[in-house]
Amino acid sequence: MDSTNTNSSNPMYRDVLGRTFAAQGATYALPADAQEHSRLIIQHNMLKIVVGGLYPSPDLVKKALDPAQRDQKCGVLDIGTGSGIWAMEMAKEFPLADVVGMDLVDPVNANDIPANCRFEIGDANLDLGRYATAFDVVHMRSVASGIKDYKGTLHNVAQTLRPQGVILLVSPGAGIYSEKKQSLESQEEGKPVWSAMQALNQATRLSSRKRGGSTGAITNDWTRWLAEMPFYTNVGESEVWIPMGPWREGMNESERTAAELLREDALEVISSWKPRLIEGGYDEALVERWSLAAREELNAMEPKLYMRWRFAWATRTPEPWSPL
């Protein structure tokens, strides 16, 4: 029986096994409902601790959004804005900038939206020409599963940036790792190094690829792709290994808080993964068993797990943009 139904009250949404997805988001792996957007706020707060603010490479960002450096109002675009929290907080930090959050649907939990922030419906897989040279910072966070051609999207984002504008990329890496930072992919269930959380993560990535989306593996290619394009310079990257729960000895208060938030994020994302996995053909009983085991892992912090979060940035050159 088909588990998918169009939401009759709003055609922009569709229901899958009790969760609400964007109707046009055929590739994106996760829901677009209040529960998911609340999870994204948890993730946002974790990343603010890890990064030390809203963005990596603060010198480049602050220079790009310095009104004295521009002869027009500065602009910020948040592609795949989700809950909208990053866009709203950027609008508060830079009150003289216009901030646009773009996604397949509007944020459902957004309150007290700053006057200089707005949300627009859009798909980064389509033409971004309406935003040509409109922005000084473009931010893309945790959007890989909804992007069909990530390298091509980086090319198209260059069209939206003014010279000296900054592109910011943020995403978890492809997998979940052991306490020794070793990959847990393709481990056999029941073996000592097997993790149900990694099994769900891997299944979700495989399902995403089948739908035409990208995965966290593209983070390995970010800086190479950016450096190969004539539109970007000052390419940089960083990464942070975050324990999934405060299990590591010697952690300071900030590290413990970030690890606890990541564990909360992970506990929530398990239920977000479930509908797409079952819709994609995974046996419901198997998904339920792995989900229960993954929650037990996270609550007990056994096995001890890491996630690797990656960040990349670059500034826009004066090179005139041209389509592929």
CA distances from 242 to 63, 94, 183 (A): 29, 29, 14
- Is pLDDT above 50 for 1? no
Least confident of 137-141, 201-205, 305-309: 201-205
Q: How far apart are the first and last CA of the chain?
A: 42
pLDDT band at residue 216 using 50, 70 and 90 as cut-offs:
confident
Which pLDDT does position 214 carry in this prediction?
86
pTM for the whole structure: 0.95
Spatial separation of the C-alpha atoms in residues 235 and 154, rounded to whole Å = 13
Residue 26 backbone phi and psi in degrees, to 5:
-65, -30
Q: Indicate whether 4 pLDDT > 80.
A: no
**CA distances for 256 relative to 39, 169, 308, 310, angstroms:** 18, 25, 16, 19
Find, among 120, 206, 128, 147, the residue nearest to 28 by Cα: 147
Cβ atoms of 3 and 17 within 8 Å: the answer is yes
pLDDT at 8: 44
Closest residue by Cα to residue 184 from 269, 311, 267, 306: 306
3-state secondary structure of 247: coil
Of 280, 278, 301, 304, whose CA–CA distance to 290 is shortest? Answer: 278
pLDDT score of 2: 45
> Between 7 and 66, whose confidence is greater?
66
Average pLDDT over every residue of 37-52: 97
The two tokens of residue 181 are 């930072």
Q: Is 13 helix (H, G, I), strand (E, B) or coil?
A: strand
Amino acid identity at 169:
L
Residue 40 contacts residue 108 (beta carbons within 8 Å): no
Burial profile 228-237: b = 16 or more Cβ within 10 angstroms, e = fewer = ebebbeebeb
**188 falls in which pLDDT band (50, 70, 90)?**
confident
Mean pLDDT calculated for residue range 244-256: 98
Q: How far apart are CA 3 and CA 182, in angstroms?
A: 37
> Would you say 163 and 230 are in contact if contact means Cβ atoms under 8 Å apart?
no
Q: Is the pLDDT of residue 176 over 90?
A: yes
Q: What is the mean pLDDT of residues 176-183?
A: 94
pLDDT recorded at residue 186: 72
Confirm if 160 and 98 have CB atoms less than 8 A apart: no
Residue 243, H or E segment? strand 232-243
Average pLDDT, the chain: 93
